[in-house]
Amino acid sequence: MKVFLVEVDDFATFSVCFVSLQLVREREIRNLSAEIESLKNPQNLNPSPRLDELREENTRLKYRLNILKRSLQEEKTHCGKSTMNINQQLQEIFGEAIRTSCPELENPPLAVTPNQQPKFGDYQCNSAMAMAQMLKAKGLKVSPREIAEKIIQNLPDNELVQKTEIAGPAWFNTWTLNLLLHPHLLINGAQPPPLAARKKVVVDFSSPNIAKEMHVGHLRSTIIGESMSRLFEFLGYDVLRLNHVGDWGTQFGMLIAHLQDKFPDYLTVSPPISDLQAFYKESKKRFDEDEDFKKRAYQCVVRLQSKEPDFIKGWNLICDVSRREFQKVYDCLDIKLIERGESYYQELMTEVVKEFDGKGLTQMDEGRKLVFVPGQSIPLTIVKSDGGYTYDTSDLAAIRQRLFEEKADIIIYVTDSGQATHFQVVFAAAQMIGWYDPQVTRVEHAGFGVVLGEDKKKFKTRSGDTVRLMDLLEEGLKRSMDKLKEKERDKALTPEELVKAQRAVAFGCIKYADLSHNRINDYIFSFDKMLDDRGNTAAYLLYAFTRIRSIARLANIDEAMLKKAAETTEVILDHEKEWKLGKCILRFPEILQKILDDLLLHTLCDYLYELATTFTEFYDSCYCVEKDRQTGEVIKVNMWRMLLCEATAIIMAKGFEILGINPVQRM
């Protein structure tokens, strides 16, 4: 254990190691043990009528002590397998101290945050000032410094906080004392903290339209939704990824009518409609210009909704062609989804309308059935004047099914920000009818901005058409290979390794370019910027990762040797760059918790970039492997630094996994 304490003026610093929820139990064990020892003392057992009672009490205390010890050991074993969240555990310690110090305050403020100035410590607690103001409002005059002193006195015994001092304005600051690189991190990898109860999460994302090709507008929903799903899964949630495709409605009557005219034998021979975009445009043109065709299209819609076999077959044919095209994109981006389109909810929509009618929540307006939600600027249209259903009806049916049949605890909708108002009204209507309580169930729209071209206008082709997503991915592959060959990686890698590196760079860069921007904002799509191996890009991080992984190979150290070293080697952090890297590694759980709260994935990208640059500073300043300059022979390996390298790689690999990026060992 390395003691590192810095004192600056009257600022307080304290050091941190390991703590968890065992604090209270450990204290209770100590108290019980002391009481048992007291009862064993003959001086305390003078013959009296209470002797039998005391013996019985002694037996009871021993029984309670054994239960507590077993419980504590189980908790330590369970928590030892997870990557701890230091900030969260510091809040537990200080929360207890604050409540003990000022029991007269209800909900006293608890503010423990990372310190932005490392010379003043790693964490700071800023509660004393606010507590003094709250006490003043109650007519009690207590200075922030007095409160700070009380908090220090009431800090529970633990292994995380070693020393405390008080700062000028009664802030506390913390220094990391022990790196906390427990062997489990290096042996088991980064593991999430245990959940109190396994929760069900539904993530609705991607959602292209059948009979239309996926375009760049679907890119953000697909990438962001997949990454959110991976985060929830890593943290132990039961995740259901749903693809709410547009596979029902008037356009299918139009497409089937066009299919009948152009390919009359479509029931026996699969028609060549691989160019879905062209096929859709042709049918739409006829629908807009030919009144007879329009009438037939509406008749086809009615017959499709009546589920006549020939019409269902035509519909399935169009859907299957679309699915095959969608899957090409999903395979490239490593996306896994369950398709559950609008057609799935058709019968459920009827039930939704009945339920709103039954509760007197609908109003008629020019033949339409509307639902007005208090506090919302626009109503929902749940039945059109022609008796058909709408997107509003479909989304109400979907949220109802997810709440009652899937029993979701969390539902996230990943669509563009233009749909924010629509979902706001849908969620409000679901609450109004009593389907869920927002205090219990989290239902959220994770909106995002649009993809812009380098001219800062909506991303289009030179002819002004929407960019096909497959064209974009293929262009990424081409540019990635060009970049690798420019660096002569084709001469250093086998053909198989080169292809792996090409796909890792191409698709990783496209994903990272999206995820590294705040999803709420628009972002400019630029292959040149995303493939640049300088700055906060996937290309830079992938190269950094392969460099870290190569250090162990350079030292002829394999995975088994690292795992053994993790159990036996003390991590010595004498150099400031070792400390800086160690502290950066420790923030990983805090970063994930923040993203879980706000669903902003760029925070993880920023963290990985900080980790990579911090590692570079460490590696440039601290020898990990020392070689003979003449022979090139390894003469010394600093194993604690090798463990730092391995811990960095483990955290980076887990971060990549959450972002959906596939790193390679050699690039």
* 3-class secondary structure per residue, 369-423: EEECCCCCCCCEEEECCCCCCCHHHHHHHHHHHHHHCCCCCEEEECCEHHHHHHH
Considering the domain architecture, whether residues 628 and 557 belong to the same structural domain is answered as yes
pLDDT at 411: 98
From residue 31, give the alpha-carbon distance in Å to each of 36, 60, 64, 70, 436. 9, 14, 12, 16, 45
pLDDT at 32: 61
What pTM does this model have? 0.78
Considering the domain architecture, whether residues 400 and 303 belong to the same structural domain is answered as no
Considering the domain architecture, whether residues 361 and 282 belong to the same structural domain is answered as no
Considering the domain architecture, whether residues 269 and 349 belong to the same structural domain is answered as no
Considering the domain architecture, whether residues 537 and 592 belong to the same structural domain is answered as yes
- Is 508 within a domain? yes
What is d(CA 516, CA 522) in angstroms, rounded to the nearest whole number? 12
Considering the domain architecture, whether residues 224 and 257 belong to the same structural domain is answered as no
pLDDT at 179: 42
Q: What CATH number is associated with residue 141?
A: 3.30.1360.70
pLDDT at 49: 58
- Is 331 within a domain? no
pLDDT at 65: 67
Q: What CATH number is associated with residue 369?
A: 3.40.50.620
pLDDT at 84: 65
Considering the domain architecture, whether residues 239 and 272 belong to the same structural domain is answered as no
Considering the domain architecture, whether residues 474 and 599 belong to the same structural domain is answered as yes
- Is 454 within a domain? no
Residues written for the chain: 667
Considering the domain architecture, whether residues 424 and 529 belong to the same structural domain is answered as no
- Is 380 within a domain? yes
- Is 30 within a domain? no
pLDDT at 198: 85
Considering the domain architecture, whether residues 491 and 567 belong to the same structural domain is answered as yes
Considering the domain architecture, whether residues 390 and 514 belong to the same structural domain is answered as no
Last residue of a domain, one of 268, 296, 315: 315
Cα dihedral across residues 553, 559, 560, 563: positive or negative: positive
Considering the domain architecture, whether residues 534 and 557 belong to the same structural domain is answered as yes
- Is 397 within a domain? yes
Question: b/e for 515-524, b at 16 or more Cβ within 10 A?
Answer: bbbebeebbe
- Is 102 within a domain? yes
Mean pLDDT by 10 residues, the chain (667 residues): 31 35 52 64 57 70 66 54 71 87 88 70 78 85 85 80 64 44 59 75 96 88 98 95 93 90 83 78 93 93 89 90 92 96 93 97 95 96 90 97 98 96 98 97 97 87 80 94 92 92 95 96 92 92 93 87 82 83 88 95 98 96 86 85 91 96 85
Structural domain range at position 126: 86-176
Q: What CATH number is associated with residue 607?
A: 1.10.730.10
* Tally of domains in the chain: 4
Q: Determine contact, residues 266/317, Cβ cutoff 8 Å.
A: yes
- Is 14 within a domain? no
